[in-house]
Amino acid sequence: MSAAIDTDAAEDVLDPGEKKRLHERGALRFAFVVTMVLSFSSVVVTASGSWQYAESHWHAYLGFSLFMLISSTACHVYIFQFLPTRKRFKSDIQVVDADYERFRDEKSEFSSSLSEAQLPMFVDSLINPKATRSRIIEEIRPIRRVLHQSVSTTVKSTAVKDDEDEGNRGKGNEDVDVIYPLMTPPKGSLQDHLVLRINGDDTAATLTYHEYLVLMASMLRALLAAPKLKVSPADRDRLDAITSTAFGHIARRGRIESAQAKDLAQCVSDIERIATRLKDDQPGQADDEVELLRLTVGLITKMAGNYAIVVVLPHDVFQGGRAIVTYQRYIIPHLVRAPVRQLARYLRDRARMLLGTRPISLEIQLNNAALARSYHLNVFAPDGMHLGEQELINGNGRFSSRNEARKPSDPYKRFRKRLGQGYLHLYLRSIPADLADNLRVRMRFHETPPGSMAPTMMAALASFALIYIAGVVISAANKTFDSDFPALVLAFPALAAAFVGFDKGAGQLLGGTLASRASSLTTIIISLLASGLYMAQTADEMTRKSTFELMLIDSTWWQLLASLALLNFTVSSFVWVTRTYSYYWLASRDTGENTGWDGHR
Amino acid sequence: MSLTSDQRIDPDPDLPHTPSMPGDGLRDRSGYDLGTGLLGKLLRLLERLSARAAHSDSESKWSVYTGEGRATAAGNEWIQNIDVERLLRRPVARAAFAATVVINNKREATGEAGEAALLEEYRRQLRRIQDEERANRPST
C-alpha cells in the first residue's frame, strides 16, 4: 500500500505537461507494438498458412502486411531507440555576475594572502606551461567503456629558482605556497572522478571558483598597471572598460558562443590598437609595457575559452625546487566507425558490432605533449592483450631521424619496441604547440595466445570430427541408428562453441575476438544442421547419394556439412597458429637495450 | 625481363612533380616502358589495394582527447614571440605585481581611489626595484 502511495507521490512531482508527454509517448509506443505484432502475424499466416490457397488476392494482403510490418518497425526503432540516443543535453550555462570591480577590490583573507612571488609564477604557468612543467608522465588504462587517465607533472618552483639564481633577490620565496594551475580544460567540459595528489598523497587543495576569480582579477590588474601609466587618459579609460568586459568572459561558464566570440575579438583588437599606439608614440621606451599588453591579450583569450583548476602547493612539498602533482580522472573515448566508402571494412565493422566484439584500435591526441619539455605516455592493454601495432600520426617529418644530427631542442620521439608486452610507451621531447595540436598516436592491441581462438578451434575440431565420423559411418552402414542419441552428440559442439566463443571480453573497451566469434557461430550452425540432418535421415528424408565419394562419405548432405566443418576448423586453426606465432616472433625479438659501452674492444 | 639500375629513368626535374608509383620509369631490355604496360597497371592496382587495406585510419576505433584542448587555441598567437619568463622578471612587471599585492592588503584602497593608489604604489615599487638593480650592478 505504501509503495502505491509512494508511486502516486512520485507522479505528482511531475508537472502536467511532462506527465501528458509521457502518456502520449506510452500510447504511441503501445500502438506501434500492436501494429508490429498484428502485421507480423499477418505476414506469417499469409506467407505460410494454407489460407493463401483459399484467397485469390493473398499476395496483395502479404504485400500490405509486409509494408505495415517494415514501416511500423522502422518508426519504432527510429522514435524509441535511435532518437533517445541523439537527444541533446541542455546544459545549464550559468551567467555569473562577474563585476570586475567587486572582485578586484575584494579585501578577503585570500586576496590578502596573495604574494609577490605567487602571481608571476601563476601567469607563467598558465601562458607558458613548459616553464614550470619539466616532465609529464601520462598513464591510460581502459576500464570498461572509459579510460582512466593519470597525469603526473613535475612542477618546478620558479620562486625557488630565482632564489638560487640571483642571490638574495627572491629571499623568503622558499616559504611561499605556490598557486599552480594544474589543468586548464576547455569550458563546458566536466571532469569525471577527478582526484588530485601531491607527491603521491591525497593532500591537494583547490581554489574555489570565487577565489579563482579574485586571483584572475588581481592578475589582470597587475598586468595592466605598467601600461596604464604610459598610455593617454582616454586609452586608460578604454583599458578599464575592456578589462571589465574581458573579465566577464573569463568568469563566464560554458563554451564561447558566436556573440561572445565577436565581443572578445573586439576587446582583443582594442588592446592591440592601444599597444600599437603606445609603440608608435614612445618608440623603444615602452617595449615592456607593449609586451605586457600582449600577454594580457593571451591571458584573456586563453581563459575565456578555458577554465583553470588551481591547486595550492604548500612550500614544503618542493624538494630541490620540484614537486610531483598528479591528477586522475575518467575520460570517455569517442567511437569512430568505419566509413561506408571503405566497404570491406564497413561490413567487417558491422559484423563485429553484431557479434559483440570491440574495436582493437585506440587513438590518442597528444595535446599534453606540448605542456612540458619531456612527455611520457603509457597506455596499458586490457588483460589478455598485447601491443600489436603502434604508430605516430602527423609527425610531418619534424622528428629527427636516427643518424641525423639535430639540436637538443628539436622534437624527438621514441617508442618502446613491441616485444609482446601489454603496454605502449612513447617518449616525446621538445614538442611545440603547433605540432602537438595534430599529433596522434594510434595503437592496436591483439589477443595474447591462446586467447579465445584456441577453445574456439577445439570446438570447431570437435564439430568436424563428429560430423565426419557420422558421415563416414552412415555412408558405410547405409543407414542411421535406431537411437536419437547421435543427434544429441552432434549438437554438443554447438553448446561448447556458444560457451567458449561468446563469453570473453563482453565488457572490455578493447577486444578483437571477431575471428573466434565468427568461427563459434559457424560451429553452432553446422553442428545444429548436422543434428537436424541426422534426425531427417532417421525419418528417411534427405538421403540423397552423391555420384562421387568425398573423404569416404557418399551422402551429398553429409559431404557438404563435413566440408564446411573442415573449412571452419582449417580457418580457425590457421588463425590460431599464425596469431600464436606472431606473438612469439614479437616476444623473441631483441629487446634493443644497450647494456653499456664496452670500450674499443 | 630483368632490370638493371642504369635502365631506371630518373624523373625529369623540369617536369611538374607527380607522386612516384610502383612501375614508374621501369623499362625492360627492349626499352619497353613497363609503367604503361600490364605489369605497371598491375603494380599500380596492387599498390592502391594494399594502401587501402593498410589504411587503418578507416577501421573502427576509439578516439580520445586527453589534453586541454588545442595547444594553439585562441590567444596563443599573441604571445608566441614573448619570452614570458624574461618579461615577468623585468622591473616593470615585478613592480606591478608588488604594487598589486600591497594594494590588496590596503583595506581603504577600493574603487577609483584604489586604482590611483595602485598606480602610485607601482611608481614607488618601480623606483625601488630600479634602485636595487643599480646598486647590485657590478661596478666596472
Given an 8 Å threshold on Cβ–Cβ distance, is A367 in contact with B68? yes
pTM confidence score: 0.78
Given an 8 Å threshold on Cβ–Cβ distance, is B64 in contact with A363? yes
In degrees, to the nearest 5, what angle opens at C-alpha A469 toward C-alphas A467 and A473? Answer: 120
Given an 8 Å threshold on Cβ–Cβ distance, is B67 in contact with A299? no
Res A384: pLDDT: 85
| 3-class SS shares of chain B: helix, strand, coil, % to 5 | 55, 5, 40
Per-residue pLDDT of B87-122, as tens digits, reads 888 888 999 999 999 988 888 888 888 888 988 998
Among all residues of chain A, which has the CA nearest to that of B87? A288
Contact criterion met (CB below 8 Å) for A225 and B100: yes
Given an 8 Å threshold on Cβ–Cβ distance, is B67 in contact with A221? no
Res B19: pLDDT: 43
Question: Looking at this predicted complex, what is its ipTM?
Answer: 0.76
Given an 8 Å threshold on Cβ–Cβ distance, is B67 in contact with A367? yes
Given an 8 Å threshold on Cβ–Cβ distance, is A338 in contact with B74? no
Mean pLDDT in residue range B116-136: 88
The residue type of B33 is D
Contact with chain B for residue A379, Cβ under 8 A: no
Block residue for cell numbers 603521491: A200
Given an 8 Å threshold on Cβ–Cβ distance, is B119 in contact with A225? yes
DSSP-assigned states of every residue in A412-442 = EEEEPPPSS-SEEEEEEES--HHHHTT-EEE
Contact with chain B for residue A99, Cβ under 8 A: no
Given an 8 Å threshold on Cβ–Cβ distance, is B122 in contact with A225? yes
Each as own residue / partner, the long-range contacts of residues A31-40 (CB below 8 Å, 24 or more positions apart, any chain) are A32/A72, A32/A75, A32/A76, A32/A79, A32/A80, A33/A76, A35/A68, A35/A72, A36/A69, A36/A72, A36/A73, A36/A76, A38/A68, A39/A65, A39/A66, A39/A68, A39/A69, A39/A72, A40/A69
d(CA A168, CA A181): 27
Residues of chain A positioned with their CB less than 8 A from the CB of B100:
114, 119, 218, 221-222, 225
Given an 8 Å threshold on Cβ–Cβ distance, is B104 in contact with A345? no
Res A172: pLDDT: 44
Please identify among residues 463-492 of chain A the ones whose CB lies closer than 8 Å to any CB of chain B. Answer: none
Res B4: pLDDT: 41
Please identify among residues 192-221 of chain A the ones whose CB lies closer than 8 Å to any CB of chain B. Answer: 218, 221
d(CA B126, CA A252): 34
Residues of chain A positioned with their CB less than 8 A from the CB of B99:
222, 225
CA–CA min distance B49, chain A (Å)? 11
Among all residues of chain A, which has the CA nearest to that of B61? A361
Given an 8 Å threshold on Cβ–Cβ distance, is A128 in contact with B84? yes
Given an 8 Å threshold on Cβ–Cβ distance, is A333 in contact with B64? yes
Q: Grid coordinates representing A42?
A: 499477418
d(CA A173, CA B68): 30
Given an 8 Å threshold on Cβ–Cβ distance, is A288 in contact with B56? no
Question: Nearest Cβ partner of B96 from A185, A222, A434?
Answer: A222
Among all residues of chain B, which has the CA nearest to that of A111? B104
Contact with chain B for residue A119, Cβ under 8 A: yes
Per-residue pLDDT of A570-598, as tens digits, reads 999 999 998 899 899 888 888 777 666 66
CA–CA min distance B9, chain A (Å)? 27
pLDDT of residue B138 exceeding 90: no
Per-residue pLDDT of A204-230, as tens digits, reads 788 998 999 999 999 999 998 888 888
A364 forms beta bridges with A441, B64
Given an 8 Å threshold on Cβ–Cβ distance, is A367 in contact with B93? no
Res A375: pLDDT: 94
Please identify among residues 143-172 of chain A the ones whose CB lies closer than 8 Å to any CB of chain B. Answer: 147, 149, 151, 158, 162, 167
Find which of B52, B92, B124, B125 to mutate to test the A interface (most A CBs within 10 Å of its CB). B92
d(CA A347, CA A349): 5
Find which of B76, B78, B86 to mutate to test the A interface (most A CBs within 10 Å of its CB). B78
Band of residue B139 on the pLDDT scale cut at 50, 70, 90: low
Q: Grid coordinates representing A157?
A: 618552483
Contact with chain B for residue A364, Cβ under 8 A: yes
* A-to-B residue pairs, Cβ atoms closer than 8 angstroms: 224
Given an 8 Å threshold on Cβ–Cβ distance, is B71 in contact with A289? no
Given an 8 Å threshold on Cβ–Cβ distance, is B72 in contact with A291? no
Q: Grid coordinates representing A405?
A: 644530427
Residues of chain A positioned with their CB less than 8 A from the CB of B117:
none
Per-residue pLDDT of B27-83, as tens digits, reads 555 656 655 667 777 887 887 777 666 555 667 888 888 877 665 554 555 666 778
Among all residues of chain B, which has the CA nearest to that of A329? B66
Residues of chain B positioned with their CB less than 8 A from the CB of A304:
74-75
Q: Grid coordinates representing A155?
A: 612542477
Going by C-alpha positions, the residue among A316, A331, A324, A127 that lies closest to residue A216 is: A127
Residues of chain A positioned with their CB less than 8 A from the CB of B87:
288, 291-292, 295
Please identify among residues 231-290 of chain A the ones whose CB lies closer than 8 Å to any CB of chain B. Answer: 240, 268, 288-289
Residues of chain B positioned with their CB less than 8 A from the CB of A218:
100, 104
Per-residue pLDDT of A46-94, as tens digits, reads 877 666 556 667 778 888 989 999 999 999 999 888 888 877 655 555 5
* Regions of chain A with pLDDT less than 70: 1-14, 49-56, 88-97, 158-174, 202, 400-405, 480-482, 485, 501-507, 512, 594-601
Per-residue pLDDT of B3-23, as tens digits, reads 344 444 444 444 444 444 444
Contact with chain B for residue A342, Cβ under 8 A: yes
Contact with chain B for residue A135, Cβ under 8 A: no
Band of residue B1 on the pLDDT scale cut at 50, 70, 90: very low
Contact with chain B for residue A395, Cβ under 8 A: no
Res A52: pLDDT: 57
φ and ψ at residue A206, rounded to 5 degrees: -110, 155
